[in-house]
Amino acid sequence: MISIVVATGNKGKVKEIAAALAALPVEVLALDKFPAIPEAEENGDTFAANAVLKATHYALHTGMPCLADDSGLEVDALNGAPGVYSARYAGPGATDEACNAKLLAALADVPQNERTARFRCVLAYVDPDGALLTAEGTCEGTILREPRGTGGFGYDPLFLLPGAAKTMAEMTIEEKNAVSHRGQALRNMATTLARYIHENRRA
């Protein structure tokens, strides 16, 4: 059994990751098991850079393998913004509602057929010995003019999936995980990590 630290304080995300890796011989540990560790600085200019920064930071400080993710929303009409600044688009500590309001204001004059966007997630796994594995997932959609649904978080109420005719916030957790960027990235990481563990056990 391999213990893996997940670089997040979000308990829901920890459960989601633990479920995705349930078939592997791993134990998933949350960051709250290591309260003395300083918070990682996310100053990368891409999702991949931030995920690797976080995974490397916590692997170094815990001496254990670490899995980190970085994700956000890319809006084509805004040249990919808010991107890596998705969580703080309306400023440090901004609420989801404030970020959504800023996004709607930025897109006020953009017609519906030009409001294409995607959620993107990159996962990085780093061993204390320096091994690096990455996986990613992308979910395409469009941005509505007003929020719909009460589930999810972040930009979910504004993000419409054309094939489902629902926003992310109108989906059940199971429906969302089946199509979401993080769900895709986790499935890809589970496959990659299973191969890595198998190869290292044989070595």
Residue-wise pLDDT tens digits, 92-133:
888 999 999 999 999 999 999 999 999 999 999 999 888 999
**pLDDT tens per residue across span 70-88:** 999 999 999 999 999 998 9
Strand, helix or coil at 122? Answer: strand
The pTM of the full predicted model, rounded to 2 decimals, is: 0.88
The angle subtended at Cα 119 by Cα 118 and Cα 124, nearest 5°, is 135
Is 11 annotated to bind a ligand? Reply is yes
Burial, 65: exposed, middle or buried (Cβ in 10 Å; 0-12, 13-18, 19+)? buried
Which one-letter amino acid corresponds to residue 4?
Answer: I
CA proximity to 65, closest of 36, 14, 17, 26: 26
CA proximity to 121, closest of 36, 180, 182: 182
Q: How many CB atoms lie within 10 A of CB 80?
A: 15
**pLDDT tens per residue across span 125-167:** 999 888 999 999 999 999 999 999 998 889 999 999 988 889 9
What does the alpha-carbon distance between residue 132 and residue 118 come to, in Å, rounded to a whole number?
26
* Marked catalytic residue, from 70, 76, 96, 129: 70
Is 118 annotated to bind a ligand? Reply is no
Q: Is 70 a catalytic residue?
A: yes
Type and span of the H or E element at 163: none
Chain Cα centroid distance, residue 135: 11
Is 70 annotated to bind a ligand? Reply is yes
Domain 2-202: which CATH number of 3.40.50.970, 3.90.950.10, 3.30.300.20, 3.30.465.10: 3.90.950.10
Domain boundaries, the chain: 2-202
Is 181 annotated to bind a ligand? Reply is yes
